[in-house]
A and B are shown apart, each in its own frame.
Chain A
Amino acid sequence: MITAKLKKGNHLGFILVMLILIVSLTLLFSADVSAEETERLELIAEEVVSGGPPPDGIPPIEDPQYLSIEDADPRIGDSTVVFVAEFEKETYIYPQNIMVWHEIVNEEIAGEKKIITYCPLTGSALGFKGNISAGQTTMGTSGNLVNSNLVMYDRETDSYWPQILGRAIEGELKGEVLEEFPVIWTRWELAKDYYDEARVLSRETGFARDYDRDPYGSYAVSGDYYDSGGPIFPVMNQDEQFEDKKVVIAGRLNRTPFSLSKNRLAADSLINFTVNEEELVAIYDDNLDTARVFLSSYNNEEIVLNYDEGEIRDEQTNSVWNERGQAISGELTGAELDQVNAFDVMWFAWYAFYPESKDNLIY
């Protein structure tokens, strides 16, 4: 009986020790991650510099007006870069020659705030949902930059959010991450044929700007800021190996950054790659000269896609897939791969935020 009591006591003691150990290790581990993350955000926040304008000196478009493709077409050159946001019911097109003067469009679709952003200095266009822990918000331009990238501020708490990071680096919401949605970087000549029902951002922005002129140059010709020279503002990390203005398709999988050369993807059409032991596939869409990245799995089963005689087929069932990650014929018809948001960005800017992304770079 005594032995039994001792044994019971031993068991309880062992369980207690193990529990304390697990809790301590968990706390220690999470504290380490949090401290590391906090330190990283603080380092980034220390590098914020003034770009010259005051807050909202580059005025976001707060009440966007739209035109039909037919009405917008005469004022947009075929080679003009446009950003496309596909929502459930409607598609919106944002011409770069307007966005370059405003950088942010605050939109509300089906009661939800959406923020379409473009930073000309880093060549990055991203979409964010306006849901933050402090409620629904719109974003403004802070007039500051970090790593040459637009620093936004939310109108609820004034926290600072670098566009490429999509995460607050300073203020009440420090550490919070914005939910992204894909914004497609393409050209007007492709978008107007592909999305014939889309709504196109109008020049009636409420501000006087020369929308026929881009202060940084032009994407249509070479030798301008967009494809030559280095960053105008200081950056935290600079890579010596690759060209600063090389366009990469970049994204994050569970906060691990990855990037692929857009030219390489356009040449190969499809690239399978691995991030953190997770299989991904990047597919080039020549209809829009854009790229999309997907998880290479469906219903927890691995799906390996390959180009085969002009068609994308999976190795497992030989089903045919399209550039949107949808199975269009074969056994898996109707299946859809989960998209991982990835966007065009100049290499120098991505590297400046994520030097570790070189480990997951396909060049």
Chain B
Amino acid sequence: MIAIIKQIVKDRTSIIIGAAAGLFFLVMYHISIDYLHLTGRAQFSFNVLAGGWDLALRQRAPYLWESLAILNFHRIQFFISPLNLLLGLLLAILILFNIAAAVFSYRYKRSCNLKIRQSLSGVLPALLTGFACCAPAFLIALSPILPAFFTIYFIQLQRFLIPASFILMVTGLYRNLHKLAVQFPDPESLPG
């Protein structure tokens, strides 16, 4: 399996598309937790908050920690939370490899029986992450039509969505890499 990972990493097209998807996810993740947004005032500044690591380790909600710094770039405001950046990066790397594996199998589909649809399914759990992060906005927006008890169930469910997303993506990636490894016992023989 290590050999197939090396081959995927060497395949520039797969890795670039995977990296673009991972980066896109990282941006969307920060938008969904409201740490990346547009503000009404254009300004350029970088402020580190006084709380230090005590602040950075302080939880706002399940899998959401306080920011340590604020970056204002024109009308874009970015709240930098080291722990959320780390979590986002971890999930983005999983997406990168899931997508790269899918692209890799698509590029060599003549010699590979792995279906692109099957490979991409490894990325779908990432949607759970977005759903988990957007939950408060989602609940407020739907409050006129959702029964109140739904909120309680949703909040209880919310804390499991990110771990579930993580586990499903790891499982999906392992399954796809395993299949690729079986299909390409000698990946270095593939045309570049």
Assess the B41–A215 pair: CB atoms within 8 A: no
- How many Å from the CB of A197 to the closest CB on chain B? 27
Check A207 for interface membership: any CB of B closer than 8 A: yes
- How many Å from the CB of A227 to the closest CB on chain B? 11
Assess the A225–B140 pair: CB atoms within 8 A: yes
Assess the A206–B148 pair: CB atoms within 8 A: no
Which of B50, B61, B69, B135 has the most A CB atoms < 10 Å from its CB? Answer: B61
Binds B, one of A19-27, A36-44, A228-236, A288-296: A228-236
Assess the A216–B50 pair: CB atoms within 8 A: no
The CA-CA distance from A208 to B37 in the complex, in Å, is 12
Assess the A213–B37 pair: CB atoms within 8 A: yes
List residues of A (238-294) whose CB comes within 8 Å of B's CBs.
none
Assess the B77–A210 pair: CB atoms within 8 A: yes
Assess the B34–A54 pair: CB atoms within 8 A: no
Assess the B62–A52 pair: CB atoms within 8 A: yes
Knowing A50-B155, A229-B143, A234-B149, say if A210 contacts B37 (CB, 8 Å).
yes
Question: Which residues of the other chain, A, contact B70 by a CB distance below 8 angstroms?
Answer: 208
Check A162 for interface membership: any CB of B closer than 8 A: no
- How many Å from the CB of B132 to the closest CB on chain A? 11
Assess the B148–A235 pair: CB atoms within 8 A: yes
Assess the B49–A206 pair: CB atoms within 8 A: yes
Question: Which residues of the other chain, B, contact A210 by a CB distance below 8 angstroms?
Answer: 34, 37, 39, 77
- How many Å from the CB of A326 to the closest CB on chain B? 41
The CA-CA distance from A231 to B140 in the complex, in Å, is 10
Question: Which residues of the other chain, B, contact A234 by a CB distance below 8 angstroms?
Answer: 148-149, 151-152
Assess the A54–B37 pair: CB atoms within 8 A: no
Knowing A208-B66, A208-B79, A233-B152, say if A228 contacts B40 (CB, 8 Å).
no
Question: Which residues of the other chain, B, contact A215 by a CB distance below 8 angstroms?
Answer: 34, 136-137, 140
The CA-CA distance from A207 to B58 in the complex, in Å, is 11
The CA-CA distance from A358 to B79 in the complex, in Å, is 46
Question: Which residues of the other chain, B, contact A330 by a CB distance below 8 angstroms?
Answer: none
Contact with A along B139-154 (1 / 0, CB 8 A): 1100111101101100
| Chain B residue nearest to A63 in the complex (CB) | B50
Assess the A207–B149 pair: CB atoms within 8 A: no
Check B67 for interface membership: any CB of A closer than 8 A: yes
Question: Which residues of the other chain, A, contact B139 by a CB distance below 8 angstroms?
Answer: 232
Question: Which residues of the other chain, B, contact A232 by a CB distance below 8 angstroms?
Answer: 139-140, 143, 146, 148, 151
Check B176 for interface membership: any CB of A closer than 8 A: no
Question: Which residues of the other chain, B, contact A88 by a CB distance below 8 angstroms?
Answer: none
| Chain A residue nearest to B47 in the complex (CB) | A208
Check B59 for interface membership: any CB of A closer than 8 A: yes
The CA-CA distance from A54 to B62 in the complex, in Å, is 8
- How many Å from the CB of A219 to the closest CB on chain B? 15
Check B185 for interface membership: any CB of A closer than 8 A: no
CB-defined A-B contacts under 8 Å, sample of 18: A50-B152, A52-B62, A52-B158, A53-B60, A58-B60, A59-B58, A206-B49, A206-B50, A207-B55, A208-B49, A208-B69, A210-B77, A217-B140, A232-B140, A232-B143, A232-B146, A233-B148, A235-B148
8 smallest beta-carbon distances between A and B, as pairs:
A229-B144, A208-B67, A208-B79, A234-B148, A232-B143, A212-B40, A57-B60, A53-B61
